[in-house]
Amino acid sequence: MSNNKDPEIRYCKKCGCELVSTNKHKLCDNCRRERNANIRNGVLGAVGTVGSIALFIVTKGKHGGGGTKA
Ligand SMILES: [Zn+2]
């Protein structure tokens, strides 16, 4: 008679190591950290690209505009 949730044993989707029952993810901490690092690199790369474009637009806008207000 166990009212508690069954500790379902799951395994990392990537490396196959056993996951702790509290882990809600399909990957172990190690693989998640690795994946997060990759995602962060990808996001940083995308943000860097978008940021430089935005900065370019802002800089260009500030430089080229300004004649309409005053
Ligand atoms: Zn893993």
What single letter denotes the amino acid at residue 16? G
Rounded-to-5 percentages of helix, strand, coil across the chain: 50, 5, 45
The CA 40 to ligand 1 mean position distance, Å, reads 18
Q: Inform me whether the pLDDT recorded for 7 exceeds 80.
A: no
Q: What separation in Å is there between the alpha carbon of 35 and the centre of ligand 1?
A: 10
45 pLDDT more than 70: yes
Q: Which pLDDT band, with edges at 50, 70 and 90, does 4 fall under?
A: low
With H, G, I as helix, E, B as strand and everything else as coil, classify residue 28: coil
pLDDT of 11 > 70? The answer is: yes
pTM of the model: 0.52
The pLDDT confidence band at residue 3, using thresholds 50, 70 and 90, is low
Q: How many angstroms does the Cα of residue 52 sit away from the middle of ligand 1?
A: 35
pLDDT at 2 over 60: no
Ligand 1 centroid, distance to 7 Cα (angstroms): 19
